[in-house]
Amino acid sequence: MLAKRIIPCLDVKNGRTVKGVNFINLRDAGDAVELARIYAEQGADELTFLDITATIEERGTFTSLVRRIADVIDIPFTVGGGIRSVKDVGDLLEAGADKISINSIAVKDPSIIHTLASEFGSQCVVCAIDVRMNPTTHLYEVYVSGGRIATGIEAVSWAKEVEQRGAGEILLTSMDSDGTKNGFSLDITKKVGDSVGIPIIASGGAGTKQHFLDVFNQGGADAALAASIFHFSEIPIPELKIFLQEHGIPIRLKH
């Protein structure tokens, strides 16, 4: 069985790492480069960097900051935010990213998924899907523009489409759970995971070590992404990994 992955996420605004609840009420969480270095040293399996206002501000990702982060880590590095073209992806890969994450542009122009997968390989293309339960339909709906705009697209059908178009991985964030520390949304994580054959990174809601165990055992996630519990040193990554290994989860420990 493939090892499960633990992925800290750097949500960056104006060059600083921030973290909110349900995508709002952001607070400063520290220097992105320093946090990245610490996570790599602690044994994080990968690192994700999301420039959370690039799309709304209609600009590209901070490539200079991407380069500075890439210089201090030796683990796979995914970058997202404001990506709109093959050139944008090329620039980020040249700056040190290993994978890129697209969200709003994929919904706006789904053909870009195939274009990027053909150009750089499916392993490079992560489709981020931000979802929220629709209280009327009781289905999970896809949101774009940093969680600001509802699309009316049902989450499971969109996950199937992005896989069919060439995405190599899905970063699934439950907006209802984001920042709450009440646990990952196991139901939608499992539904999406059962419907596709590509890895699912679960995001939104991590608050305890048990939450990670639950998302692997009950949610079927291939990786778990978290932010504030790592940024504010609530759960050290080595301690989390030992806990998961002791509970039968295949995990890589840093030696």
What is the C-alpha to C-alpha distance for residues 73 and 63, in angstroms, rounded to an integer?
16
3-state secondary structure of 25: strand
The closest alpha carbon to 203, from 58, 212, 73, belongs to: 212
- Give residue 26's Cα distance to chain centre: 17
Judge contact between 205 and 180, C-beta under 8 A: yes
Residue 149 sits at the vertex; the CA angle it makes with 148 and 150, to the nearest 5 degrees, is 130
130 is catalytic: yes
Please tell me which residue in 11, 45, 51, 214 is annotated as part of the active site: 11
The closest alpha carbon to 26, from 47, 2, 53, belongs to: 53
Judge contact between 46 and 75, C-beta under 8 A: yes
Judge contact between 18 and 26, C-beta under 8 A: yes
- Residue 28 bridge partners (DSSP): 18
120 burial via Cβ count (<10 Å: 0-12, 13-18, 19+): middle
91 is catalytic: no
State the helix-helix crossing angle for 186-195 and 209-217, rounded to 10 degrees. 30
Please tell me which residue in 45, 88, 130, 214 is annotated as part of the active site: 130
CA 8 to each of CA 32, 42, 128: distance values in angstroms, whole numbers, following the listed order: 11, 11, 15
- Where in the sequence numbering do the catalytic residues fall? 11, 130
